[in-house]
Amino acid sequence: MLKFPKGFLWGAATSAPQSEGHATSNGKTPTTWDKWYELDPTKFTKNQGPENTSNMYDMYREDAKLMPQVGMNSFRTSISWARLLPDGQTVNPEAVAFYRSYFEELHKNKVKPIINLFHFDMPWWLMEKGGWEARESVEAFAFYAKTAFELFGDLVEMWTTFNEPIVHVECGYLYGYHYPAIHDFKKAIQVGYNTIMAHTMAVKNFREMKAKGQIGIILNVSPCYSRGETEGDKLAAKQADLLNTKSFLDPAVLGQFPQELVDLLKENELLPTTQQGDKEAVSTNTVDFIGLNYYQPRRVQEPVQKLVGKATDPSDFYAPYVWPDRKMNVYRGWEIYPEALYDVAMMMKNDYDNMPWFVSENGMGVAEEERFLDDETGMIQDDYRIEFMKEHLEQLHKGIEAGSQCFGYQTWTFVDCWSWLNGYTNRYGFYRVELDNNYKRTMKKSGLWFKELSETNRLKI
Ligand code: BGP
């Protein structure tokens, strides 16, 4: 039996655009996802768009009751910016009523809300002004954050500004998976920088308002493992780490950008445009805690071709490496490597002043999960998911024993949900959702297992 610290948070995470539905009603204006779908639904797996997702907008009261039934004492979701501020300035009263009632239901069911402000859902009104490329987005986000703190501060003790900000940088400006789907390394760096400044200004507002509770950010990190010990491979891992991990973690926790990253960007003429006072704002507005999403490690090797001239893509610094001995989640095509969670715990302890942190997403996506439905119990028998969580929790526990200050573990996700261009392909929930049967929720076997884990605060091994 592995015992977890007293008061440990057990829960699950989702986001507004992936769970609420009512994407274009009740006063909400479109996001880039809604517009992109309108422009080209064929981009989305099986043409499944963001309109309905898991219908939590209508079902949150019942859903809040389902949470403790799988042992959740905490739940992360996000506020939809375009729902709260449909034109960027005017507060939508329906959104206020909805979120207040939603968060109250969570409290009634003894589920602690962790509320995030941005989960890839850029309002269309801001995208039309340049989105994260434009400095205007920093002020717009700071205003949105302040509005949310004022409206819901009495119901929320734990706030986060962004979920996985590197994803909208990479997917929108390098790899084509998010709108505007362009390839421009310099713009990507500017988008990343403006995002960090938006985060910083939101934290600044939080501090100046003397808002109650704590504020953090959610990052998807994994140690960057190099193929081997050659100088080229080691340099690739270091540069991947600078660009993907330290770029956000250092300013958020340590209040400064890593000098080696600044030098690398300078050498390649990629430095972003900054404003006077930015550096000081970053240094004085660090976070209270960090949320880390972990699914699979990043493995790299030196690029196949030596860089000639200036870099135009991250692949000029590092290339992906496929470890031949890897264990796979064959249902999603992602590597399973629980040991990284111990390494992450040690990284937080040793490199980030032992800042308190929690696992804000971890989980196992499974395509066509209905194949594991057991007719007798009516439950999906997701023993593979139980095994996945168990292995990761063992490593996490080892990290906690070694002194890392991890205070919670949230899986992705509560009920099966919509996932961007992937639609509903990969199922992750404690509850199965039947899209063609009024979004009916049915607990999976992992829900029962998680309940026991949470109630005993102990992992059976
Ligand atoms: C994380 C995102 C989530 C969710 C999850 C699963 O990176 O924060 O929004 O999408 O990944 O991803 P997928 O559905 O692509 O397997």
Q: Mean pLDDT throughout 256-280? A: 98
The per-residue pLDDT for range 27-65, each reduced to its tens digit, is 999 999 999 999 999 999 999 999 999 999 999 999 999
> How far does CA 158 lie from the centroid of its chain?
15
Token duo for residue 455: 């109630």
- How far apart (Å, rounded) are the C-alpha atoms in residues 87 and 168? 22
* Residue 296 Cα to ligand 1 middle (Å): 12
pLDDT at 335: 97
3-state secondary structure of 158: strand
Amino acid occupying residue 230: T
pLDDT at 43: 97
The residue whose CA is least distant from atom 9 of ligand 1 is 419
* Per-residue pLDDT at 175 exceeds 90: yes
Pocket test residue of 78, 160, 412, 425 for ligand 1, highest count of atoms within 8 A of CB: 412
- How far apart (Å, rounded) are the C-alpha atoms in residues 19 and 419? 9
- How far apart (Å, rounded) are the C-alpha atoms in residues 162 and 166? 10
* Residue 419 Cα to ligand 1 middle (Å): 6
pLDDT at 45: 98
449 contacts 382 by C-beta, under 8 angstroms: no
Residue 418 — very low, low, confident or very high, per pLDDT cuts 50/70/90? Answer: very high
* Residue 297 Cα to ligand 1 middle (Å): 15
Closest C-alpha among 133, 132, 179 to residue 33 = 179
* Per-residue pLDDT at 332 exceeds 90: yes
Atom of ligand 1 at shortest range from CA of 218:
8
* Residue 208 Cα to ligand 1 middle (Å): 33
78 contacts 116 by C-beta, under 8 angstroms: yes
The per-residue pLDDT for range 274-292, each reduced to its tens digit, is 999 999 999 999 999 999 9
Residue 301 — very low, low, confident or very high, per pLDDT cuts 50/70/90? Answer: very high
pLDDT at 223: 85
| Inter-CA distances, 235 with 13, 227, 230, 260, Å | 34, 11, 9, 12
pLDDT at 42: 97
Atom of ligand 1 at shortest range from CA of 412:
5
| Cα angle, residue 86 at apex, residues 83 and 90 outer, rounded to 5° | 115
pLDDT at 222: 85
- In the chain, the domains with their CATH numbers are 2-459 (3.20.20.80)
The residue whose CA is least distant from atom 4 of ligand 1 is 419
Closest C-alpha among 84, 191, 178 to residue 131 = 191
- How far apart (Å, rounded) are the C-alpha atoms in residues 118 and 167? 12
User: Which of 306 and 93 is assigned the larger pLDDT?
Assistant: 93
The residue whose CA is least distant from atom 14 of ligand 1 is 419
pLDDT at 385: 98
Residue 155 DSSP one-character state: T
pLDDT at 438: 97
| ipTM exceeding 0.85, yes/no | yes
- How far apart (Å, rounded) are the C-alpha atoms in residues 380 and 443? 8
Task: State the CB neighbour count (10 A cutoff) for residue 421.
Answer: 17
| Cα angle, residue 251 at apex, residues 249 and 255 outer, rounded to 5° | 130
The per-residue pLDDT for range 203-226, each reduced to its tens digit, is 999 999 999 999 999 999 888 999
**What's the whole-number average pLDDT of the chain?**
98
* Residue 367 Cα to ligand 1 middle (Å): 13
Atom of ligand 1 at shortest range from CA of 18:
9
Phi and psi at residue 159, to the nearest 5°: -110, 150
Q: Which residue has the tokens 């290339």?
A: 319
Pocket test residue of 361, 369, 421 for ligand 1, highest count of atoms within 8 A of CB: 361
Closest C-alpha among 355, 351, 452, 347 to residue 407 = 355
Using DSSP, how many helices (H) and how many strands (E) does the chain show?
A: 16, 19
Residue 26 — very low, low, confident or very high, per pLDDT cuts 50/70/90? Answer: very high
Residue 4 DSSP one-character state: P
Strand partners, 25: none
* Residue 283 Cα to ligand 1 middle (Å): 30
- How far apart (Å, rounded) are the C-alpha atoms in residues 293 and 49? 24
- How far apart (Å, rounded) are the C-alpha atoms in residues 450 and 428? 14
The per-residue pLDDT for range 86-139, each reduced to its tens digit, is 999 999 999 999 999 999 999 999 999 999 999 999 999 999 999 999 999 999
- Catalytic residue ranges: 164, 361
pLDDT at 265: 98
| Percent of the residues in the chain that have a pLDDT greater than 70, as a whole number | 100
Token duo for residue 446: 């992992």
Residue 227 — very low, low, confident or very high, per pLDDT cuts 50/70/90? Answer: very high
Q: Which residue has the tokens 């119901």?
A: 155
List ligand 1's pocket residues with C-beta within 6 A.
Answer: 15, 18, 163-164, 220, 293, 332, 361, 365, 412, 419, 422, 426
| Percent of the residues in the chain that have a pLDDT greater than 90, as a whole number | 99
Pocket test residue of 419, 422, 426 for ligand 1, highest count of atoms within 8 A of CB: 419
Residue 66 DSSP one-character state: H
Closest C-alpha among 361, 450, 433 to residue 19 = 433
